[in-house]
Structure 1
């Protein structure tokens, strides 16, 4: 005998949707969502982007230089490398690191970009790796929304918006004249 419940089990569906349908066929009341809602939730799930950034922010300040921070998250099975960035806030955006040189901490371009391990993360933080904006022509206010585009080694791009945030920092100086040797 062919029933509507057995027909719905034959349709390709996610395990969650099938479980809801099976429990409904048994004549028992269940607290699970109706089958149509469960199927809709499964059908609208999109794959995660290859690379995302959590808690992105940019240091507030006057025109000149500033930097953006956050945590890069790799959602893939392969290592990803961020090789460049752009922002309408600045004509020149570089990927930077802070390292010890000659007994003092200096900022310099990050050779090879930011490598984010498979299913891992890479932190961008004051005093460490960061996205440097040079030649900023306007003031970055608290709460400002600053758009960015990062380019990966394979040519893919990732867009995000960083929020302006006041930060006194650990003596970083993102202004012209800083020793970068």
Structure 2
């Protein structure tokens, strides 16, 4: 009869670590080939320097049935010089580069003069309540799970494309500052329509 050994308290941490490693390696193969897997949120998941001007980490779009919405993420500049985004485009809507600023004691959204500068060896976060890529008048609903393609244009004439997935978002109440030719709507909410 084979002899059974008991793993005493001294051996349990090694057994637990081995079991955890085995479980983790087994879970990585569980995804279906037709189910998209999210990209890792690390600099290596960004667009490589050879493929684009900047890296784009964790890009996403606020889902919206109509009107305006926005795209967000983190722009990564690994170069030794500053990079300026001067424009953005997508097939579902005309776009502008926007910022949030104080106007008459109120935080409002407006076109960002001079574009979005990503300093050398630095990142620039696009986020609700801050700088963002504004979709001005969506031609079709942008539903949670939709993947949209965007093209960034840079001050030196280069362009770069990236994709972003739409997500539901109920956050920052932002007012749109009219007067730069974008939309006749004086107020704009970044929270979903009821």
| TM-score normalised according to structure 1 size | 0.69
1:177 deviation in Å? Answer: 2.2
Residues paired across the two proteins, number: 135
Larger helix share, 1 or 2: 1
Deviating 4+ runs (over 2 angstroms): 45-50, 172-180
- Stretches of structure 2 lacking an aligned partner (at least 5 in a row): 1-47, 177-182, 189-194
Give 1:22-171 correspondences, 5 Å limit.
47=50, 49-90=52-93, 92-171=94-173
Where relative contact order (Cα < 8 A, 6+ residues apart) is larger, the structure is 1
Q: CA deviation at 1:48?
A: 6.4
Match of 1:14 in 2: none
Instruction: Pick the structure with greater CA Rg.
Output: 1
**Partner deviation per Cα, 1:100-154 (whole Å, 9 max, x = no partner):** 1111011100000000000101110001100001121111111110100000000
Q: Which runs of 5+ in 1 are unaligned?
A: 1-44
- TM-score, structure 2 normalization: 0.65
Equivalent residue in structure 1 for 2:186, among 156, 163, 178: 178
**Aligned partner of residue 136 in structure 1, secondary structure:** coil
Structure 1 CA distance, aligned partners of 2:120 and 2:58?
20
Cα RMSD of the aligned pairs, angstroms, is 2.1
- Name the one with the larger strand percent: 1
